[in-house]
Amino acid sequence: MEYKDIKFDMLGTRRQRPMYLSKFTKFRENLDMKNYPKNPHEYTKLFLDTIDVWINSHKYVQYTGLNTFKFRDAILGTTHQLDELHQTYKSKITVFKGEYKYHRRLTDFTVNEITHYSQLKAGDVFVVSYPSCITTGYHNDFDKLCNHCFDNNIPIHIDGAWFGQCRNFEFDVSHPAIQSVSVSLSKALGMGSQRIGIRYTKEKHLGPISIMNDFAYANVSDMWLGVEAINHFGTDYWWKNYSDLYTKVCKDFNLQESNSIHVGWYQGDQFGIRTPLRFLIEGVFDERGTNKGLNKIEREERI
């Protein structure tokens, strides 16, 4: 098979897969277990320090103001924080329509959804991906949204799952309405199966995450893999290495470029380009990036 054999209908539309490369697997296969943490109870601090430096060293995507968050915890991917938020606040959780589908899955598709920040009201708890999985970057009037939430005592929790695979994004998270920011390595460094990241909070949150950290129950193996991957691949990995190929794929398939490495725009909708982009990078046809790569539950799930 050749790149020219990949057709438009092979682009992912139902679930746009994040990018992945064989080199991520090979990197983990070649790790030396002799470097495995000797004292797992002390390793959480090293992991948190390392990922914090990694986050703050990005150039293509930036959070400023993270130093205003007093507490840092290891998390099992950003969904770990979403799990705790839903467990804690239940029906108060509110998201934008079109947000990460996990919110709907957790609530049997009953989560509160809004289309404009003015619909947020006192008592709501607002959870938002930023960079946004809806826009691949900013939301219009997000500064006004933050002020509205502060004026109405509505806490904001930032899901930074797309941090590390996006570009053209800089956001100051120090706004007083923002109570937490979570970032994982899943999409940035091909670690979706490892699920490890960091949560920043301004106040101490009593819950599964803080207990896991306070009692040194964090997943040392995944933290170690994360530190090793950070040290090996560095920051801004996708855009530093493959921005030209991304542009080529978008041009070849008549897509408008987005600010996330794994999708392009076509007539206002996101189309996943993992399959053609990965083929250009390493000559691998990745069916998982197409709609044929959906599993049974994904195929049957309501849109």
pLDDT tens track for 170-208: 999 999 999 999 999 999 999 999 999 999 999 999 999
- For the record, the structure tokens of 38 come out as 């000797």
pLDDT score, position 300 = 85
Which pLDDT band holds residue 297 (cuts at 50, 70, 90)? confident
pLDDT score, position 6 = 97
Mean pLDDT calculated for residue range 105-118: 97
All residues at 6 or more sequence positions from 29 whose CB lies less than 8 Å from its CB, including other chains: none
Q: Are 161 and 100 in contact (CB under 8 A)?
A: yes
Bridge partners of residue 64, in order along the sequence: 172
Which pLDDT band holds residue 41 (cuts at 50, 70, 90)? confident
User: What one-letter code names the amino acid at 286?
Assistant: D
pTM of the model: 0.96
- For the record, the structure tokens of 1 come out as 């098979």
Which pLDDT band holds residue 148 (cuts at 50, 70, 90)? very high
pLDDT score, position 212 = 95
User: What one-letter code names the amino acid at 105?
Assistant: R
Residue with tokens 């979706």: 192
Note the pLDDT tens digit of each residue in 94-108.
Answer: 999 999 999 999 999
